[in-house]
Structure 1
Amino acid sequence: MSLSTFKETLKPCKHNPSTSSSVSSSFSSISHNFDSSINPRKPPKSSLSQQLLRLQDQDHPFSLPQTQPKCPKKETVLNSEGEDIDDEEEEEEEEEKKDRILRPKLESFQFDPTGPYEPLLLSLPGEVPAIQVPASINCRLLEHQRAGVKFLFKLYRNNHGGVLGDDMGLGKTIQTIAFLAAVFGKDEEAVNLTTSLREIQPEKKGPVLIVCPTSVIHNWENEFSKWAAFSIAVYHGPNRDLIFDKIEAHEVEILITSFDTYRIHGTILSKVQWEIVIVDEAHRLKNEKSKLYIACLEIKTQKRYGLTGTIMQNKLMELFSLFDWVVPGCLGTREHFREFYDEPLKHGQRSSAPERFIRVADERKQHLVAVLSKYLLRRTKEETIGHLMMGKEDNVVFCAMSELQKRVYQRMLQLPDIQCLINKDLPCSCGSPLKQVECCKRIVPNGVIWPHLHRDNPDGCDSCPFCLVLPCLVKLQQVSNHLELIKPNPRDDPDKQRKDAKFATAVFGTDIDLVGGHTHNESFMGLSEVKHCGKMRALEKLMFSWLSRGDKVLLFSYSVRMLDILEKFLIRKGCCFSRLDGSTPTGLRQSLVDDFNSSPSKQVFLISTRAGGLGLNLVSANRVVIFDPNWNPAQDLQAQDRSFRFGQKRHVIVFRLLAAGSLEELVYTRQVYKQQLANIAVSGKMEKRYFEGVQDCKEFQGELFGICNLFRDLSDKLFTSEIIELHEKQGMEHGNHESAKLDFTELQMCFLPQKEETKKSTEASEDSKTKDASKRTVKPGLEDLGIVYVHRNEDVVNIGSGTQGKKELNMHLKDTVCVPVIRRKAAAAAAVGGKNTVENAASSKIRKKSQYSLLAQFMGMEEVEFSKWLLSATPEERDKVLRDNKRRTDKIPDG
């Protein structure tokens, strides 16, 4: 029967009013089905499309706009059959005109044939059964998340594992769930709508194992229940045997367990034939000797996937451990990786490395990146959702320790315990040819820390005196943060309290009365006082500026005792705050987060770095303070990302507080070293070569590595500043003027009132000039804020990729020449005898100070007040001040 004949049979029906609408609807549906052969795009298989189709069948006034066939297409098809249908078309047009009177126009409503309202097809075209992400999930994914799902499925198709290494906050969880929903055929709408899929029996798949930190188990549960209909069980707690019985009975599709549970019960779970194994926070598999790593090696599946935002944290060999578990053998053997990648990359990054070392390191770097690209997908926030966010500044603030802190720090370096470590390689005083560590100074019976550690073993242990390193480092960090931390903790056992009291008495010395004795201070006013803590003195001034402008602050500390002190400080200042640490119940944590995000009165959130580093979304805060740095750079980066994540509406400014001249400067420079190695190995970036030291190499310990560097006295120098400025000076000598970039230090120095400088004799040497200028210009300028030196971390750690290696200068107020820049230019000019350059720099300095004073007057502030405001202002706010000031000056007529 031809189409024209079939339409003739429908003609009489239109005269019956009771049936005309239903027949018209049927005809419209049939015509739509016919026209679908011409237009290959099918309506999206989403709940929205289903509703529209059902409403159309019921002759609802709303209908899909393209259900009626287009006239030109019908003419082409019907004329090919040689039939004249002009009369029928005219009658149909009359009916359509009547329908349009009753139906609203929806011509603007169009489905994108490749848009998010359709399922995301992962399998090859024509492949049966089709593997696709349900439209209900696909419509919620961002573009980079769809690419991540495709990457995971590509690994699955090739029957091996890989690592999804997106930055924290880019949605690794939802990408994983979308991938699993596609693999397990959770697209129920597509199955119901497509007849061919009804007849296909999907292959029965084994269960999926997800291993994650205990703190995010419930988050995984909630996300699965939100996005897809899986049969989920949690293997954690007292009901493990019951859950395991369900797994053997094939009643569980997704099993979630914690790292600790799997480490203990991995032997039982490894008996299951898993379809897929996913390890969240996969950087936990960095140590090949850990029990967790050994347990994970027993998993019987090749489809192993790791999720982590910090692929490498401390060493390049950690990279090997992770990928050797994900795809065994992909990087060769451990020894091959160490010789072919690890050693060349580390030695090529040495500041004085020969040219051939640098060339070999560049070749090996490119080779490693090419190999990893097969198994790794790494994206950053700047590459993916940077256009949706206001940006972030990571400022490193070197705070001056109080005079009392400095004296206590010096006394601790003079303790017999630390002196034994410092002098370990010197010849023994007894006259033997052995070193002190091998002879008479192996044990320290007259020490303060050593006798307590070996109270049951007076002859010492096998690792003496190196067993003292960690306890001494902890004490030095405590002195750098707050003197109260080295006093006895009332929560400790009496024996440890006596030991800490003895140590406090030794290092406080004659200043013991100034700190209230060697016992724990119970005074609220004493604990909240800032005069004896350099970091708190700087924090007090910064906090006043932020809170007066309505900013919300996240305040992180690694120490719970430090949080107690900061809590009293906030109470004294009248701040409304929340607090989260290890003692906070798991069920209460999310309510604290929600309350802080929704309540305008909550100004500060005190968070323990160890308890709140993962799983918190605190996008209402736009200021982040990390009170004490961690040896692992990933810890500080995770803390920052509690605020800087998708949903943040304001510019985020991070302040990492470091005690200048203390061990914390070495902690930070090692962070820089580790971040640079990670960027080189994972992303193939070209990093600046600041340091002479090479990790795990006794021959090249340089300024970073080795026990002597750990306990070196840095109080008489600007350790980090000198390393960075030396690199910039070398860059200028080699004609690389981009290295002398305007950084945050210079920006601050420009807007801080400078004191009168003492004139030095012109006969002084070039080195003494530079050193004296450093002390005169840097320290007094920030003295009122208690800050010695400041820079941006992103300017020190390159963020450019490939061979570019240099970040374009994008700084507000770039016309302003600041004091440190003047000092460097003057030093460079003096080296070549350029007196005119020095004179021009001096006159430029006077001119810029005058411009600064005018800006302060324009803002209606004193110079010091304006300096403090600038310290906490965002680049947009600084730029607005310049624009407004320029607009005002343009309106003032000349003369």
Structure 2
Amino acid sequence: ALKRNKIKIKRLFPLSAPPLPRFQLLPRLCLPMNYEQRLIAAAKFVYAGDSVADDPPVNSVDLGVKATLKPHQVEGVSWLVRRYLLGVNVILGDEMGLGKTLQAISLLSYLKVYLKTPGPFLVLCPLSVTDGWMSEMANFAPKLRVLSYTGEKEHRRNLRRKIYESMSREASDAKSLPFDVLLTTYDIVLLDEDFLSQVPWCYAIIDEAQRLKNPSSVLYNVLKEHFVMPRKLLMTGTPIQNNLSELWALLHFCMPSVFGTLEQFISAFKEAGDPSCPDADKAKEQFKILKYVIGAFMLRRTKSQLIELGTLVLPPLTEITVMAPLVALQKKVYMSILRKELTHLLALASGAPNTRSLQNIVIQLRKACSHPYHFAGIEPEPYEEGEHLVQASGKLLILDHLLQKLHACGHRVLLFSQMTQTLDILQDYLELRKYSYERLDGSIRAEERFAAIRSFSHNRSKFEAEQNAAFVFLISTRAGGVGLNLVAADTVIFYEQDWNPQVDKQALQRAHRIGQTNHVLSINLVTEQSVEEVIMRRAQRKLQLSHNIVGDDVLDQEGKEMAGAEAGDLRSVMLGLHMLDPAEVTNEESDKFDRNELTAMAETIMAFRNEERSARDDKFEVKPANFLNEFNVVTKRGPESIKLDHILDETSYLEWVEKFKEASQINHNPIFELGNRRSLPEEKHLKAEAAKKKAEEEKLSKWETLGYHSLSVKDPVSAPDTDISSDSGAVHFVYGDCTRPSKVSPSELTIIFSCVDTSGNWGHGGMFDALARLSTSVPAAYERASEFGDLHLGDLHLIEITEDLAKGGDSPHAPQWVALAVVQSYNPRHKVPRGSISIPDLERCLSKASYSAAQKSASIHMPRIGYQDGSDRSEWYTIERLLRKYAALHDINIFVYYFRRASQS
């Protein structure tokens, strides 16, 4: 129906953007010119419009905003308005943290309040920042009616129905629409393209527009070819992350008739984009032209520029790189990886490496640098929290001392990591130290994501933070590195670095931005003499080369950095492995940390906050080794400190390979081969097994005599390879009743998972009543297990449902099972008899349930466990992590149900 009414919709709501007669004449005037001349003519046309145009009014009344704009924001809004009136689509490329969102909102408010433009306006952004957009528009532009087009499929269907009804009314303009601004995400634009592409958007704003850097992407082409959005603004703090082709993609999206093809653009400016160009004069001339052209279509300001001009005041930023040593366990794991990959290391020396193999080696080495517990079999049994977690990693030892000082002084921390498995380890560490925290990664659902951000940002003062808010915000760099405002923190720690330093730079701006009142300390933890140091030194070297060629302007600041590990980069990184001396692996003295040294290092880092700083941000390197004795352990990092030779030293690498082969033969220890678990002393193990077997035989004999058959599931005999997980297993979040799984999985075998305690008394209400209605055999089996002493923490009782389920509305043809997980203790003598959920026992039950589901080709359905009404998000993070782990491990689907009460629509 919507497709049939497409023409009618567009007729009802004509585009209200101003005509573009002056700019439309430009292509015809420029036909005799070559590509470069045409771009210069287009830029001159825009600059000429600037010179003759009156400055548009940008006071709060005319803008319709309830905010006092800073001088650079006033300038930015004025620039955006002039470009709009001239008919030019542009990029707002201000550095992160300068208030691009407020400038864009001011423009939309100006269009409606001052120019009386009826809209509709479209705002596209990542899911993580939709909450921020809604909040800022509500606070600063109350005259804008905003519709958040997000949420579940059914919710969006209802919104579409309301919008369509409004658009179907007889009207000559867009006043009947229920919104001025529609806010949605990239993913939803693709999902609901058929509807959203039919609306003729008067103006579109695309936030975090680096998502459009690939002109071959589905998102780029859907927006460009299918959406009616002739007037648009792109917003990005990193207009260039890797190369000039990304810049062209953004400029072409804005003004395709001006910027032509990628081949034309690269041909015209390839020298400007190549730091190694032998003709420096030509490169500088091309860069000068490129800068002139870009300036007409992109507004780019950096914090350092504005601070030097005196138009922006921000607290100081001090960046410190702490070089962390490998502890003995890490060295052995590191060597084990290299020993395992020796064939590929030799192949690299011959010049014929496999890129996939190299990438895997680098990833495994980076895991060892972060924490050896990334690998199965390294963590000592029994798997319990303890100091071994901290002592196993040089980085974590240093982080431990830093957080102690930061917590004592009332500071708050953003802790970034690349790998979610590292976040899991850091979360275990925070639990060990009893530090309060929030967590945000790609697996966190939107509701928890927004709640975590609000919770962390709610209390700003140090004293409030100690009492009410989280001390640490755990964030995966890719999930939370853009668009968020987290100025409640004044310390940013990078436990792992991204391949692309611009990604970390973006993440740093979550705290060092407008609204921050404290001196911001950024701490990068880098493992010295390892693959991490090689990656860091290469990044510094490449940024410095760009700086030497193109100066301090936009292109050098954004660099031509690698966004990922390409073949040449990987080869260079591997050739830098000779920084680690294999002989050092057996040096036990190098593993001994002096607690006083670590404390002194932490105090020195903390002292940076109290020192007077210049207007420019400072960068330092710190090495904790021999901290009490060395004088020059803190060095200011500048161009002169980047000493890594960028030339590939293959001779040194070959010498290192030979030295490594000798050391690996001498120091080979099978205990540290990845995948091997430590075994208990043989004699003690055999005695324990014999006693256990005898007790089990006696128990089974008694049960057989009394006619009892246990439904308890045994531990899986074997688990899949923990290094390999399936992409098809997943956790799904749905609304409904988990005891009626056929509504979600109508043709699939199903297991209903529910938690119980050790009391043996079947409860009332909630899941107890629902399961009893499903089958009386469920409570009967539970009570009988208690009667025969078959109810222990960690047990999973799998009960098959054989009754006809048609009376409950479910299909009678699909067999079902109910899995009762015994995860809560019960002691009637305690004031609160029922204990809280035991996470280790829950994990054991999930392991059994997921293994059983895989054997039966079934899915698991459960209510939400643990986290209720936001009272303990950390527990839910842990549970959700376990669900995803076992869904992937056993290639099954797990459905978590949110129960929608009758009062909820």
TM-score range relative to shorter protein:
0.5 to 0.7
Please name the residue that 2:477 is paired with.
Answer: 609
Verify: 1:619 aligned to 2:487, yes or no.
Answer: yes
Retained in 1: the 8 A contact 2:63–2:110? no
CA 246–279 in structure 1, closer or farther in 2 if over 3 Å, else same: farther
CA distance in 2, matches of 1:682, 1:589: 40
Amino acid at match of 1:392: L
Alignment of 1:348-497 (within 5 A): 349-350=275-276, 354=278, 357-384=279-306, 387-416=312-341, 419-420=343-344, 423=347, 426=350, 465-487=354-376
Per-residue displacement from partner, 1:161-210 (whole Å, max 9, x unpaired)?
Answer: 111111222211111111112222x15xxxxxxxxxxxxxx776542221
Q: 1:323-342 residue pairs with structure 2 within 5 A?
A: 323-342=251-270
Secondary structure of 1:705's counterpart equals: helix
**Mapped partners of 1:270, 1:677: distance in 2:** 44
Aligned partners of 1:373 and 1:623: how far apart in 2? 34
Q: Distance in 2 between matches of 1:223 and 1:536?
A: 38
Q: Which letter does structure 2 place at the counterpart of 1:420?
A: H
Deviation at 1:160, TM superposition (A): 2.1
- Deviation, structure 1 residue 589: 1.9
Match of 2:423 in 1: 563
Matched, 1:255 2:172: no
Counterparts in 2 of 1:407 and 1:590: CA distance versus 1, 3 Å: closer
- TM-superposed deviation, 1:422: 5.5
**Once the 2 structures are TM-superposed, how far is the Cα of residue 325 of structure 1 from its aligned partner?**
0.9
Residue type of the alignment partner of 1:363: E
Corresponding residue for 1:274?
201
- In the alignment of these two chains, the number of paired residues is 533
Question: What's the offset of the Cα at 1:535?
Answer: 0.7
The CA deviation at 1:552 is 2.9
Residues in 1 aligned to 2:102 and 2:332: alpha-carbon distance in whole angstroms: 53
Unaligned segments of structure 1, at least 5 residues: 1-120, 188-201, 427-434, 438-464, 488-503, 505-511, 719-744, 753-776, 798-895
- Tell me the residue number matched to 2:223: 296
Find out whether 1:225 has 2:138 as its counterpart.
yes
CA change 1:791–1:220 in 2 (3 A) is same
Rounded to whole Å, the distance in 2 between the matches of 1:259 and 1:610 is 16
Shift of 1:372: 0.5
SS at match of 1:411: helix
Is the 1:122–1:132 contact (alpha carbons within 8 Å) kept by the matching residues of 2?
no
Structure 1 residues 327 and 688, CA, compared in 2 at 3 Å: closer, same or farther?
closer
Question: What's the TM-score, normalizing by structure 1?
Answer: 0.53
Q: Residues 177 and 205 (structure 1 numbering): CA distance in 2 closer, same or farther, change over 3 Å?
A: same
Structure with bigger strand share is 2
Q: 1:688 to 1:137 in 2, by over 3 A?
A: closer
CA contact (8 A) 1:163 1:306 kept: yes
CA deviation profile, 1:65-121 (whole Å, cap 9, x unmatched)? xxxxxxxxxxxxxxxxxxxxxxxxxxxxxxxxxxxxxxxxxxxxxxxxxxxxxxxx9
Quote how far apart the aligned CAs of 1:556 are: 1.9
Matches within 5 A, 1:91-106: none
Return closer, same or farther for 1:358/1:688 CA change in 2, 3 Å cut-off: farther
> 2:211, 2:188 → 1: CA distance?
14
Alpha-carbon shift at residue 793 of structure 1 (Å): 7.2
Q: Is this contact kept in 2: 1:396–1:793, CA < 8 A? A: no
Check the 8 A contact 1:580/1:607 in 2, yes or no. yes
> Is the 2:322–2:623 Cα contact (8 Å) retained in structure 1?
no
- CA distance, structure 2, for counterparts of residue 321 and residue 784 of structure 1: 54
Change (3 A) 1:717 1:135: same
The corresponding residue for 2:577 is 713
What amino acid is the match of 2:202?
Answer: E
Query: What SS does the aligned partner of 2:524 have?
Result: strand
CA separation in 2, counterparts of 1:177 and 1:595?
A: 23
Amino acid at match of 1:242: R
Distance 2:259 2:363 in 1: 37
Residues 553 and 130 of structure 1, relative CA distance in 2, 3 Å threshold: closer
Q: Tell me the equivalent position of 2:460.
A: 597
1:224 deviation in Å? 2.3
CA distance in 1, matches of 2:627, 2:273: 36
Comparing 624-633 and 301-310, the one that deviates more:
301-310
Distance 1:282 1:291 in 2: 14
Deviations 1:755-791 (A, max 9, x none): xxxxxxxxxxxxxxxxxxxxxx978544899x98865
- Local SS of the residue matching 1:523: coil
Cα distance, 1:675–1:559 mapped onto 2, change above 3 Å: same
Deviation, 1:436, is 5.7
Unaligned runs of 5+ in 2: 1-49, 169-173, 583-600, 609-621, 643-905
TM-score using structure 2 length: 0.52
Matched, 1:215 2:128: yes
Take 1:795 and 1:783, find their aligned partners in 2: how far apart are those partners?
A: 25
- Counterpart residue identity of residue 158, structure 1: L
- Contact persistence 1:578–1:606 (CA under 8 A): yes
For the residues of structure 2 that align with 1:629 and 1:781, how far apart are their CA atoms?
25
Cα–Cα, structure 1 residues 708 and 422, in superposed 2: closer, same or farther, change >3 Å? farther
What is the Cα deviation at residue 475 of structure 1?
Answer: 1.6
The SS at the match of 1:257 is strand
| Paired AA for residue 229 in structure 1 | K
Once residues 167 and 487 of structure 2 are traced to their aligned partners in structure 1, the CA distance between those partners, rounded to angstroms, is 43
Partner residue of 2:411? 551
Match for residue 684 of structure 1 among 553, 563, 571: 553
Q: One-letter code of the match for 2:197?
A: S
Q: Could you tell me how far 1:371 is from its partner in structure 2?
A: 0.8
Contact 1:209-1:254 at 8 Å conserved across structures: yes
Distance 1:608 1:688 in 2: 24
1:748 is displaced (CA, Å) by 7.7
Counterpart of 1:562, as a letter, is T
Cα displacement (A) at 1:147: 0.8
Q: Offset of 1:655 from its aligned partner?
A: 0.5
Cα distance 1:651–1:203, how it changes in 2: closer, same or farther (>3 A)? Answer: closer
Please tell me the residue identity of whatever aligns with 2:444: S
The aligned amino acid for 1:233 is L
Residue 499 of structure 2 corresponds to residue 638 of structure 1: no
Displacement, 1:151?
A: 1.2
The separation in 2 between residues aligned to 1:123 and 1:183, in whole angstroms, is 21
Residues 710 and 322 of structure 1, relative CA distance in 2, 3 Å threshold: farther
Which of these residues, 266, 279, 287, is aligned with residue 214 of structure 2? 287
Secondary structure of the corresponding residue to residue 345 of structure 1: coil
Shift of 1:534: 1.2
Q: Note the C-alpha offset of 1:476.
A: 1.9
Structure 1 residues 431-830: aligned runs within 5 Å: 465-487=354-376, 515-516=379-380, 522-525=383-386, 528-530=389-391, 532-581=392-441, 582-583=443-444, 585-595=448-458, 597-598=460-461, 599-601=464-466, 602-672=470-540, 684=553, 705-707=569-571, 709-710=573-574, 712-716=576-580, 781-782=626-627, 792=637
Distance 2:498 2:93 in 1: 22
1:232 partner amino acid: V
- Alignment RMSD, CA only? 4.4
Which letter maps to 2:108?
Answer: L
